[in-house]
Amino acid sequence: MVEYSSSSVSGSSLKHNFKMVCHYGVDSPLVTAWTDENPGRRFHDCGKDFVRRKCNFFRWYDPEVPDRQNKIIRGLLRKNDELKKKERSLVIVIGLLGIMLFMCVLLALGLAMK
Ligand SMILES: [Zn+2]
């Protein structure tokens, strides 16, 4: 018996209480697609854990989204990635500045001791 895994089921899907089963008769989990064609669209997948033994069961859960909206979502995801990269480099810069400040303080203390 395969349970719904909480990681693949988002909050809003708690409302739907019917159970979809795949060709094996296994509970079919709701997973989210992150392809360019369907960013964020959820579908029912084979409930088997092992990729090789998965059947080809596949059924969309969310309705098809107009291409315009998919384009906007893709744009936002790309923007989000860029911001994350910028954030990471800023964290590195701040870390380096912190180290430099620490060394300056050590140097000043060393000079003050003389
Ligand atoms: Zn299956």
CA atoms within 13 A on the CB side of 20: 17
Q: At 89, list the tokens.
A: 């480099």
CB 21 within 8 A of CB 6: no
d(CA 12, ligand 1 centre) in Å: 24
Amino acid 77: pLDDT: 94
- Does position 87 have pLDDT exceeding 80, yes or no? yes
Q: Give me the residues near ligand 1 (ion), CB cutoff below 5 Å.
A: 22, 24, 46, 48, 55, 57
Q: How far apart are CA 88 and CA 110, in angstroms?
A: 33
Give the residue, 4 or 97, on which the prediction is more confident: 97
Domain range annotation of the chain: 1-65, 66-114
- Does position 13 have pLDDT exceeding 80, yes or no? no
Q: How far apart are CA 39 and CA 58, in angstroms?
A: 16
Amino acid 24: pLDDT: 87
E strands within 1-85?
30-34, 39-44, 59-60
d(CA 44, ligand 1 centre) in Å: 10
Amino acid 3: pLDDT: 45
Amino acid 16: pLDDT: 54
